[in-house]
C-alpha cells in the first residue's frame, strides 16, 4: 500500500496484477497511518520468537488495519 502511494512501478510490487486496485485503495488511506501499521508489523515480527501471546499480537494488527480502513 505504501509503495502504491508513491506511484511505484508495477515490477516493484508483490502483486503487480493488482496495481490499479491497490493505488485506488491507497488514495483513500492516510500515509502516516500506513507507516504506523508497518512499524507495528515490524515490531510484531521481532516479538514472534519471544514468549508473547501471538494471538493478541495478530489481533492488535487486525484492529489497527480495521481502524485504518474506518478512518476514510
Domain extent for 27: 2-70
- Whole-prediction pTM value? 0.63
CA atoms within 13 A on the CB side of 68: 22
Q: Is the pLDDT of residue 46 over 80?
A: yes
**Strand stretches in 1-72, DSSP E:** none
With residues binned 3-state (H G I as helix, E B as strand, rest as coil), the percentages for the chain, rounded to 5, are 75, 0, 25
Query: Which tops the pLDDT comparison, 14 or 50?
Result: 50
1-5, 31-35, 67-71: lowest mean pLDDT where?
1-5
pLDDT of residue 65: 87
Please give the distance of CA 69 from its chain centroid, rounded to a whole number.
11
Please give the share of the chain, as a percent, with pLDDT higher than 70. 76
Report the domain count for the chain. Answer: 1
Amino acid at each position: 500500500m505504501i509503495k502504491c502511494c508513491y506511484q511505484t512501478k508495477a515490477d516493484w510490487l508483490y502483486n503487480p496484477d493488482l496495481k490499479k486496485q491497490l493505488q485506488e485503495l491507497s488514495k483513500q488511506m492516510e500515509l502516516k497511518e500506513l507507516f504506523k501499521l508497518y512499524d507495528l508489523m515490524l515490531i510484531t515480527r521481532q516479538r514472534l520468537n519471544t514468549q508473547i501471546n501471538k494471538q493478541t499480537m495478530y489481533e492488535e494488527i487486525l484492529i489497527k488495519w480495521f481502524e485504518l480502513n474506518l478512518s476514510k
